[in-house]
Amino acid sequence: MIRPMTQKRDQKIDLHMHTVDDPVDPHVWHTAEELIDKAASLGFTALAITLHTHQFASERIEAYAADRGILLIHGVEQDIEGAHVLLLNFDRDVAHDIHTFDELRTARAAQEKNSMVIAAHPFYPNAVCLKEKLFQHADVFDAVEVSGFYHPLWNPNKKAVAAASRLDLPLIGNSDTHTLEQFGKTWTEVECEATVDSIITALKKGKGKVCGRPLGWNEMAVITYKVVGRGYMPWINYKKQRRLG
């Protein structure tokens, strides 16, 4: 039975996830269907599959999600001047052509749809993270991400929280799922109707609540192995094995 999609209630959402369809990451193993099945079992009502540099679009998968009471929001994790930025509800062709912050400014101004730009994991120790670019280009962002890969003793999100406060931007909790063990540990809840426009509007207004918990060392070890160790063994084509399987 399909749940009503316009009832105003608490929405449980995750706006940063990858699937086996990702054109960049070689280590992502799960399918969109498997991700949606897990999301439905955990009570999620809206998701964004944000592949690297490529906006996920599939009417079949959108229908599969809707049958399980989940709204799919179009999104992409775009590489903008070497940093990863989440673009939500942009026109697909427009999102694919954004590679600089000036192009992002122009696209945001021209968007007729209610879109959202989130600073993805901005202060993690990786070259693709925004760091000071978040402050240099603060005008293009609608929110700052609290990313799910953290531990009580190691938490780069603390800098993100401080930056959001300094810039007066809301926080959005996302899992950045690359392996299903990550999913369901960090998310956002917001009271609104289950429509793309209502969710984005509420989040921009700061009505979202970051939920979840830190990972344990054992969880971090499993995720690190699956994402880094298993994922970057050049002699094994995991995506090919998965598709053939």
Average pLDDT along the chain: 92
Contacting residues for 165 by C-beta, under 8 A, at least 6 apart: none
| pLDDT above 60: residue 73 | yes
- For 3-23, the pLDDT digits (tens) are 444 456 699 999 999 999 998
Mean of pLDDT values over 21-32: 88
DSSP string, 161-204: HHHHHHHT--EEEE--BSSTTTTTSEEEEEEE-SSHHHHHHHHH
- For 39-63, the pLDDT digits (tens) are 999 999 999 999 999 999 899 999 9
Place of tokens 């809301």: 170
Confidence of residue 234 (pLDDT cuts 50, 70, 90): low
Sequence ranges of the domains in the chain: 9-240
- Which CATH code of 3.40.50.10470, 3.20.20.140, 3.30.420.40, 1.10.10.10 fits the domain covering 9-240? 3.20.20.140
Contacting residues for 90 by C-beta, under 8 A, at least 6 apart: 55, 74, 76, 98, 107, 111, 113, 115
Confidence of residue 243 (pLDDT cuts 50, 70, 90): low
Q: What is the pLDDT of residue 26?
A: 79
Closest CA to 143 of 126, 120, 124, 123: 120
* Dihedral of the alpha carbons of 25, 96, 74, 238, in degrees to the nearest 10: -20
What are the tokens at 69?
């009471």
| pLDDT above 80: residue 236 | no
Cβ pair 166, 134 in contact under 8 A:
no
Stretch (H or E) spanning 76: strand 75-80
Confidence of residue 29 (pLDDT cuts 50, 70, 90): confident
**Residue 238, Cβ neighbours under 10 Å: how many?**
15
What are the tokens at 165?
């406060």
| pLDDT above 70: residue 240 | no
% residues pLDDT > 70 (the chain)? 90
Confidence of residue 2 (pLDDT cuts 50, 70, 90): very low
0.85 cut: is pTM over it?
Answer: yes
Q: Are strands 186-192 and 9-17 parallel, antiparallel or unpaired?
A: antiparallel
